[in-house]
Amino acid sequence: MEEMLTRLNLRRRHLNVILKLDLKSAFDKVSWSFMKAVLAAMGFSEDFCLIVSNILEATRLSVLLNGQPDGFFSPTCGVRQGDPLSPALFSIVINAFSQSLKDGFRSGRIEGFSMPRHCHQVTHLAYADDIVIFTTTRKGSLRQLSGCIDSFLAASGLSLNQQKSSAIHAKSAQRADRARVKRILGFGSARLLCYTWAAGWTVAGLGDGSSSR
């Protein structure tokens, strides 16, 4: 992450930009049918997929009314938070998006950061429902990325939290660059406040670009 932050301000024709995607209530909304399709595509056996399906469909939820449970109902999507299986299942769903992004970058449809030849090309990072993408402000690339994101959201049943999703621009970014990202992806600009290392994960600290009070 340090290297990517350093290269954010690299001078090039199409300026680098870091996009932070935040998925809204992701664990509660992920599509079961999409999850099972991804499991099958990854080569998991029919028996395993059936076990997962039974676990999901056996879930019963209740609403507390005046401190007392008032009936039960069956959910039709999502994975239970706190269930030891849920993080693995959700990670498999996010991996499908990761593969789609990789295909876009490898084909050149989505443009990545400029990196030294000897360096491994880092295109994106993901942790739980937070995704960071390293790309540029080129219009064609942003449109391809937007299509990739929209396709995944439509298939998975997930949605973006636009208030928490943002773009960190290079220092030399012009108003037109920021406006292009906002117009195509809907992400407002943020400024980098800090980054810390926590639990083996580099986290970008984001601000809304406003001055501190």
Q: Which residues pair with 21 in a beta bridge?
A: 131
What per-residue confidence (pLDDT) applies to 62? 75
Percent of the chain with pLDDT over 70: 80
Q: What is the pLDDT of residues 158-193, one digit of tens each?
A: 999 988 899 988 888 889 999 999 999 999 887 654
For residue 195, give the 3-state DSSP assignment.
strand
Q: What tokens does 111 get?
A: 């443009």
The pTM (predicted TM-score) of the whole model is 0.80
User: Residue 203: is its pLDDT beyond 60?
Assistant: no
What residue ranges do the domains of the chain occupy? 2-207
Among 149, 135, 132, which Cα is nearest to 180's?
135
Tokens linked to 120: 């491994």
Q: Tens digit of pLDDT for each residue in 29-43?
A: 999 999 999 999 999
Q: Chain centroid to CA 41: how far?
A: 20
pLDDT of residue 45: 95
Tell me the two tokens of residue 114. 């400029």
What is the per-residue pLDDT across 111-164, written as a single tens digit (0 to 9) for each? 988 666 777 778 999 988 889 999 999 999 999 999 999 999 999 999 999 888
